[in-house]
A and B are shown apart, each in its own frame.
Chain A
């Protein structure tokens, strides 16, 4: 699992739109984002970078190192 936890979510839903693999969903009861399919996370960091209140944390040890192209 790469996406770790969501704390302090305001329920704007931007992370749901940003996630390419639909890991995050808005929970109907609370109206806040929840990690629904953690095993699908590709560690792209799009959710974290697009969260206005920095509510999403991603485990650093599982982050993919930046790949530099040759030539």
Chain B
């Protein structure tokens, strides 16, 4: 049974964060729209779903614990940096057609975009800033001087806030988010957040009990906790 789960759990994850989003995008391909615009759209949708999938690629998901956690964390990091790298350019890619086609200049379009204070746009701007913050606290983890567990909690809570706002933004403004895509996004995001919150509550309870009993987590020779040692493998 363990071998079957180990063999197929990542396959199921790929179906949920790659295959199904592509199928749902293909339902809403906008007619008469240039191919490069649709390619930018699918690239953005896939990048966003990879970030949603990050909630399933960590220790809060029991199913991935069949793999080596160090390996899972490595994948988590690679996927995170790669697809956040794509989504950082999302606001600029939106106004790219204005550079390639006649009409409003690209600078005017970008200024109009970021100065339209409507719900969807404001949510998008906040999400973008949170995304940059997530990258920074991940890149500068060792320089922040936080304990690993504290850093993990900050990273997790920020991720939850980011994903809630970003999903809301995508549902509000996404040109490919029809009812099916919206429901699917909410399901994937909701599932991931529920998994994370369950783990967080469990950690807080365990932390509290350890504090009461004055029990310290087992540490390695260099002073790192077991989780820290596994995460930095």
Contact = CB atoms under 8 A, between A and B. Distances in A.
Interface string B27-52: 00011110001000000000000000
Given A50-B103, A55-B175, A10 B113 contact: yes
B145 to A, nearest CB: 40
Contact of A10 (B37, B103, B118): B118
A63 to B, nearest CB: 10
B156 interface: no
B116 A11 contact: yes
A26 B94 CA distance: 21
B173 A49 contact: no
Interface stretch (B104-112, B131-139, B199-207): B104-112
A35 to B, nearest CB: 14
Contacts, number: 63
14 contacts: A4-B32, A7-B176, A8-B174, A9-B173, A10-B116, A10-B118, A11-B116, A12-B116, A12-B118, A14-B104, A50-B103, A51-B103, A52-B95, A59-B32
Contacts of B95: 52-53
A62 to B, nearest CB: 10
Task: Please provide the 5 A-B residue pairs with the shortest distance between their CB atoms, ordered closest to farther.
Answer: A49-B103, A8-B175, A7-B175, A52-B109, A52-B112
A37 to B, nearest CB: 20
A58 interface: yes
A53 B113 contact: yes
A52 B173 contact: no
Interface in B107-130: 108-110, 112-113, 116, 118-121
Interface residues of B, number: 27
Interface string A28-71: 00010000000000000100111111110111100000000000
> Interface size for chain A: under 10, 10 to 19, 20 to 34, or 35 or more residues?
20 to 34
A58 B101 CA distance: 14
B102 interface: yes
A5 interface: yes
Contacts of A31: 118-119
Contacts of B80: none
Interface string B78-102: 0000000000000000110110011
A52 B32 contact: no
A49 B119 CA distance: 24
Nearest to A53: B94
Contacts of A7: 30, 175-176
Q: Most chain-B Cβ atoms within 10 A of its Cβ — which of A5, A8, A49?
A: A8
